[in-house]
Amino acid sequence: MSRGVKIGLIIGTILLVAGGGIGAAVAKNKHKAVEVRMDTVAHRDLVAAVTASGKIDAEKTVDITADITGRILQIAVKEGDTVRKGQFLVQIDPVQFQGAVNRGEAQLAANEAAVVQARTNRDQTKRQLDRAVEIRRTAPELIAEEAVEQAQQAYDVAVSTYTANVAQVEQARASLKEARDNLTRTRLFSPISGRVVRLPVHEGEVAVPNTFSKETALLMTIADLSTILAKVQVDETDVVRLHMGDSVDVSIDAYPDTTFLGRVSKISNAAKLTQTTAGAATGTNDRAVDFDVEITLTNPPRDIRPDLSCTARIVTDTRKNVLSVPIIALTVREHEKLPNEVTSPQDTIRAAKKFRKKETEGVFVVRDGIATFRPVKIGIAGDEYFEVVSGIREGETIVGGTYQAIRDLKDGDRVKKAPEPKKGETKAS
């Protein structure tokens, strides 16, 4: 045997041994049990809820604005004051409006005098016309036809003048009423009882109507705090689960250790579109679709204020003593229906043609150290558990974590229970 052949045999033997070792290691790792967190299927009480954020507001809020332009002479309240309906609030300089009233009164008096004069002139021309007509009837040779026509014309003019003066009186009365109305608008009174929650102006500033800008025209805001609302925005995927009267737990940032109870009192039918942060960053038209929901607080704190930030937990459904599994345990896998899983004639027909794989929700059931994927039908979702309608039985052991282990787990993999975390450590999700 040559030296080259001997070297070749030695190298081949080494490679064969090395390959066998690698193969044994791969086979060992393949059958190595995966450490998982295990849980037991059990009955629990579940509460399905929707969480949304928003702000506190009063049920009735009124913005006080001026209907005229004028300098503010007096503000009779301060921000935070409690006011009654009809209470005096603001005085706007009335000088020019009082002058307009005086001019209107004088103009009305002049027009009324003109009406008296026009009536007298009309009556006089009527008498002259009557005499002319009577003379023409009894002694036509004593009066010319032209004189009768002139009398008739003078009477017609007098009637028209009287009618015009009467219309001018009505016009003067309307102008005077408008001037008096503008004068009354220089004094503003509270339309509701409540609290002054905003007062952005000061004495000496000029009040303007809200024709162009409501923000510029705003003098103060009064809120009726007898009924307090939490106004939140709910995502389109959750709003369909809400109902009028649903129970709500409201947390207000200003009261960190207290939760306030409430009820859903209004669900908007129109969506509010808001551009998402990702859409703004990329310049796309991605928008979040939210719906405004109002919650009436049953017992709000007495010193509460509008615009406080809040978070609402709206209870949409409850289940008592139902079969449940941890939310993290539910996963999705491609599942092929087996013949013994066919449950209807339609399923039989479809299965006879071809077994099709589709993504199915389910859990991994552990038996004798083997994890088997089993489809389940779920109901409501609580904070930590899903309701299970069908697919598993109470007492069965399932894989309940971690997320990474469930994501990588395959049907038929060997599993073993992971050691419990030491005291002070938290479970990995």
pLDDT tens per residue, range 276-293: 665 556 666 677 899 999
Q: Are 247 and 315 in contact (CB under 8 A)?
A: yes
The pTM (predicted TM-score) of the whole model is 0.67
Q: Which helix (H) or strand (E) holds 342?
A: none
Distances (CA, A) of 362 to 6, 18, 40, 106, 307: 59, 42, 15, 90, 44
Q: Which residues contact 137 (CB under 8 A, 6 or more apart)?
A: none
Q: Report how far apart, in Å, the C-alpha atoms of 116 and of each of 90, 124, 126, 151 are.
A: 43, 12, 15, 21
DSSP state for residue 67 in the 8-state scheme: S
Sort 93 into a burial class: Cβ within 10 Å, 0-12 / 13-18 / 19+. middle
300-347 pLDDT, tens digit per residue, is 998 899 999 999 999 999 999 999 999 999 999 875 554 444 455 455
Cβ neighbours for 406, distance < 8 A, ≥ 6 positions apart: 36, 328, 329, 331, 364, 399
Any idea which residue has 């009557």 for tokens?
130
Correct CATH for 34-45+321-417 of 2.40.110.10, 3.30.70.100, 3.40.50.720, 2.40.420.20: 2.40.420.20
Domain ranges of the chain: 34-45+321-417, 94-185
The answer as to CATH 3.40.390 being correct for domain 94-185 is: no
Confirm if 331 and 406 have CB atoms less than 8 A apart: yes
Q: Which mean pLDDT values do the consecutive 10-residue runs of the chain (429 residues) have?
A: 47 49 45 86 93 94 93 95 95 95 95 94 93 89 88 93 95 95 95 94 91 83 94 93 94 93 95 72 74 95 91 94 93 65 50 59 93 93 92 92 89 88 57
Number of Cβ within 10 Å of residue 262's Cβ equals 23
